[in-house]
Amino acid sequence: MSLSRPRLVLTVAGLLVAASAVTLPQLRVSTSRYGLVSDENPDQARMLRFFERFGNPDAPVVVVSSERPEDSRAVVDRLIAGFEAVPKLRGRVLARVGPSEVAEVLLLQRPEVLSQ
């Protein structure tokens, strides 16, 4: 088809590119797992009411890994200093945590693993 009707192929390709150029800016990328379910879903609505009342339990996590523990420690120390410099984060930065420290915000299928 492309050899027998090159103008048709180029026209269709041009229309597809134009349509993409119009619709692409309207696309939004979201990493929110809450955006995957409608706010009208009863379970989702209940969870959103919980967040409104008690706050969102999600906490950002930074994982630092290195061949040498002293390199990891140096990076963690710099991160701590940077995060503690932010007024809203001062006093709320945990530099090393295990499962028992964050159990209240973890969603565990098997809570018994915390005791291992």
- Is 19 part of any domain? no
Please state the rounded mean pLDDT for residues 18-42: 86
CA neighbor of 13 nearest in space, from 2, 25, 26: 2
In a domain, 55, yes or no: no
Residue-level pLDDT at 108:
52
Q: What is the C-alpha separation between 105 and 53, in angstroms, rounded? A: 16
Flag whether pLDDT at 29 surpasses 60: yes
Whether residue 5 is contained in a domain is answered as no
65 part of a folded domain: yes
Under 8 Å between Cβ of 102 and 58: no
Higher pLDDT, 53 or 85: 85
pTM above 0.85, yes or no: no
Give the rounded percent of residues in the chain with a pLDDT score beyond 70: 80
Q: Is the per-residue pLDDT at 15 higher than 90?
A: yes
In order of 10, 11, 15, the CA distances from 21 in angstroms are 16, 15, 10
In a domain, 66, yes or no: yes
The model's pLDDT over 56-103, given as tens digits with 9 standing for 90+, comes to 777 777 888 888 888 888 998 999 999 999 998 888 787 776 666 656
Mean pLDDT score of the chain, rounded to an integer? 81
Whole domain around residue 69: which residue ranges?
Answer: 61-116
Query: How many independent structural domains does the chain possess?
Result: 1
